[in-house]
Structure 1
Amino acid sequence: MVAYKSKMVERIRLPSRERRERALEEAGYNVFNLAAEDVFVDLLTDSGTGAMSDAQWAALIRGDESYAGSRSFDELESAVREVMGFSRVVPTHQGRGAENVLYGTLVSEGDVVLNNMHFDTTRAHVANQGGDPVDCPVEAAHDLAADEPFKGNFSIERAREVVDDVGAENVPLVISTITNNSAAGQPVSVENTRRVRAFADEIDATFVIDACRFAENAAFVREREAAFADGAEIVEIAREQLGYADALVMSGKKDGLVNAGGFVATEDDALFERCKQRAILYEGFPTYGGMAGRDVAAMAVGLREAVEEAYVTDRLEQVRGFAAMLEDAGVPIYTPPGGHAVYLDASAALPHLSSDEFPGQALVCALYREGGVRGVELGSFAFPDTDRPELVRLAIPRRTYHKEHLEHVVETAAVVLENRETISGLEVATEPTVPELRHFTAALEPIPL
């Protein structure tokens, strides 16, 4: 079912092959460095790249730009309480601002932080505070073909091994990311969330949910978890799952359906006050948090829209349809597909390249070179010194692209695979001093075949 019609359009164009070749070289074979005007279909991220609804645009125009005590903040606070079940909200300019506020408050030098799988900025924020980010994925997370319903789950067994090794007193924080972006957008079950809550209580740790894609996760729960198969509403599932956490960290640029914004939410008065003071230092006054009032107002509307049946059904169906087209074209992907993206199996796509030659990044560059398509590598280049599969994420911006755009991506990927033997590996030429963030700004160069 198509849930939307277009009320505004933007002209896009496919640059010439010569221009794409030149742009890629000038970007140091890192697509983050490409100019957006040189990209035809942009699947780099679903973060802040979607289209807002007419209701969100109306809210944006009505936004209250008062420095303190704005009406827009009241609207956001009400939406977070209604949709997510938390009444104390600290707004930030985006998700990583929320991570800075919360993890800067909770993590100290020498701490060990457990997560089902840390994504890039989460890992970096923990490390920046002197902590050690440790992943606790379930075994199926790294099996690209396993037909398991909740491959994004947090492994309690792995977490216990870590605690036995380092001591519970050194593990102050446990995080569950829903959906699990590093595990191909795979969902996390409510039952697993309950178990993580109990585990955190057992070791006296704070339990945080990274709720960026909470609505997509709730939709998967209703489909796949027997306890919720009786037609429970998305918002009811979301509130229950999120309610097991002591705090939330949220990028509104995902399931907030906006182009900017995020927040920390909690019911803990003491933690709320600590986060609020840190937010004043790094983000802004606690009722705007680095956002314009109009962005705060638009996110309040977006949170409610994210749990609407028509929206979330359309969202998941588009991703599944895209995955099916890629599989039909013989493109190897991570299955089952997640909620916000399709992840390509770069090792299977480019078997002649070793992990030292960054097959994922080579595939990203080939997709851009062939069809002006921008994706992102989430393998050995983005996550050095971790044991992760070589993946390329094609993230679909919300309510933005149509079937014809995705068909172009599929056709591009098919041509790339037909000529895979001509694709060379890459090596790092320059990189920043923070290894967890090197994929954002590093430059690479081709390795001669």
Structure 2
Amino acid sequence: MELPFAESFKIKMVETIRRSTRAEREQWLKEANYNLFNLKSDQVFIDLLTDSGTGAMSDKQWAAMMTGDESYAGARSYYNMKAAIKNILGFDHFLPTHQGRAAENVLFSVLVKSGDIVPGNSHFDTTKGHIEFRKAKAVDCTIDEAFDTELDHPFKGNVDLVKLESVLTTYPKEQIPMIIITVTCNSSGGQPVSIANLRAVKQLADKYGIPVCYDSARFAENAYFIKMREEGYQDKSIKEIVKEMYSYADMATMSSKKDAIVNMGGFIAMRDEELWKKASTYNIMFEGYVTYGGMSGRDMNALAQGLDEGTEFEYLETRIKQVEYLGEMLHEYGIPFQKPVGGHAIFVDAKKILSHIPKEEFQAQTLGCELYLEAGIRGVEIGTILADRDPETRENRYPELELLRLAIPRRVYTNNHMEVVAAALKNVFNRRLNIKHGFKIIEEAPIMRHFTVHLDKIK
């Protein structure tokens, strides 16, 4: 008899969570202005808002924290982190930051100016926000297959080379500071980018003299999919695949709260020492001295250990199979979501589920609120609210995909929790036609509004 799959870890500590009543959730959601970010964590039963900083660290990571060096300058922990980045990603120069958006802020302060064009594959919210804050423009060059949620394409995160070259030939080199590739591509459903595509983008970038930057939050999950799906990589280790991936990059930003499995931390890595020197000035202004940059020594130690653990196949297989388990249940229930299953989340197709609700009433946000009311499960809208307004016209941007993301923290929930999520979503799906209206915005920030937006029900 073939043995069933089992997790590659055992549980040493637990945290109590409480089931709430429907009446309580209705009141809490109203008090939160129907913004799931505004809920208190104690009001949430299963929290799938994000996988960023919400994972469970390993015994080795906790042990590494105890030996953290908290020296202001030249800490041992900095050099541990430097060695891990060099060994795993291959970059000689790096700057620690407190998280990924801080890395973007520092790097873009050097490279991005007003009027610039930054092509890439579906830039995520903070990336686009930092670009547009500088009055530059992010241009999405993702392949069209990414926007058909029913299409089972192995690398929906790929850059469309024709779209990219069109950008590179339309604008002068001086106006394109970099090409950003997000691995995996969060906005298109946690979808991977193939080695072949990374290589081709780099060749095109070199042809036009443009540097390539990886948004690296989930790079290890991307490498896992390459191993499982791309011809010629089945027998390579994750670390070998990662080394090749980054051989096609000139620099990288990382929110280490994802694939380095830490609660806080990030970095910028680069090959060019002159770029490092320029970025160091901003790092000192915004983050801290170059050898800590917004991170404590213990967190740098945990990050270094997490980079090593996060690039081991057994860990990644356990992590991604749990996401697949939830996807299999939703598929059986007939619930539409972005296929194939991504590395860190299920992206439910709210546009198909709530097609009778006008897009102006925020279908994905409506679905997210209904799922919370059903069972205390918190997801996040990846749709019109997140897409924000056009900086020039101030009109809402309506993306091709209107998704509810259910991001699964690493090593936190059991498959029983996934069964609760699937059953709750099935209940919402079955009563979807009884959901008559969505929401309207009553207060919003001028940029990255989704974090703090206030909504009200449309009667």
TM-score range (shorter-chain normalised) is over 0.9
* Corresponding residue for residue 407 of structure 2: 395
Q: Does 2:332 correspond to 1:328? A: yes
Please report how far the alpha carbon of residue 349 of structure 1 lies from its aligned counterpart in structure 2 after TM superposition: 1.3
* Aligned-partner residue type, residue 66 of structure 1: S
CA distance in 1, matches of 2:59, 2:188: 33
Please report how far the alpha carbon of residue 386 of structure 1 lies from its aligned counterpart in structure 2 after TM superposition: 4.8
* Corresponding residue for residue 420 of structure 2: 408
* Corresponding residue for residue 27 of structure 1: 32
CA distance in 1, matches of 2:281, 2:218: 27
Aligned CA RMSD, in angstroms, stands at 1.1
Aligned residues: 445
Contact 2:254–2:266 at 8 Å: present in 1 too?
A: yes
CA distance in 2, matches of 1:166, 1:387: 24
CA distance in 1, matches of 2:351, 2:129: 26
More displaced, 387-396 or 163-172?
Answer: 163-172
Q: Does 2:280 correspond to 1:280? A: no
* Corresponding residue for residue 107 of structure 2: 102
Offset from partner CA, 1:170-208 (integer Å, 9 cap, x none)? 212111000000000000011111111112112221210
Unpaired runs of 5+ residues, structure 2, are 1-5, 389-396
CA distance in 2, matches of 1:400, 1:387: 31
* Corresponding residue for residue 365 of structure 2: 361
* Aligned-partner residue type, residue 422 of structure 1: N
More displaced, 345-354 or 299-308?
Answer: 345-354
Equivalent position to 1:88, from 73, 90, 93: 93
* Corresponding residue for residue 310 of structure 1: 314
Contact 2:150–2:336 at 8 Å: present in 1 too?
A: no
Equivalent position to 1:421, from 424, 433, 445: 433
* Corresponding residue for residue 431 of structure 1: 444
Q: Does 2:179 correspond to 1:168? A: no
Equivalent position to 2:143, from 138, 143, 149: 138
CA distance in 1, matches of 2:133, 2:30: 32
* Corresponding residue for residue 445 of structure 1: 456
Contact 1:172–1:204 at 8 Å: present in 2 too?
A: no
CA distance in 2, matches of 1:31, 1:294: 31
Instruction: Calculate the TM-score normalised by the size of structure 2.
Output: 0.95
CA distance in 2, matches of 1:37, 1:320: 27
Unpaired runs of 5+ residues, structure 1, are none
Offset from partner CA, 1:87-140 (integer Å, 9 cap, x none)? 211000000011111111111111100111110000001111221111111010
Instruction: Percent identity, please.
Output: 46
1:52 match: secondary structure: coil
Instruction: Calculate the TM-score normalised by the size of structure 1.
Output: 0.97
Please report how far the alpha carbon of residue 68 of structure 1 lies from its aligned counterpart in structure 2 after TM superposition: 0.6
* Corresponding residue for residue 344 of structure 1: 348
CA distance in 1, matches of 2:381, 2:81: 34
Please report how far the alpha carbon of residue 225 of structure 1 lies from its aligned counterpart in structure 2 after TM superposition: 1.1
* Corresponding residue for residue 235 of structure 1: 239
2:88 match: secondary structure: helix
Contact 1:208–1:246 at 8 Å: present in 2 too?
A: yes
* Aligned-partner residue type, residue 68 of structure 1: A
* Corresponding residue for residue 78 of structure 1: 83
Contact 1:20–1:369 at 8 Å: present in 2 too?
A: yes
More displaced, 198-207 or 237-246?
Answer: 198-207
* Aligned-partner residue type, residue 440 of structure 2: E
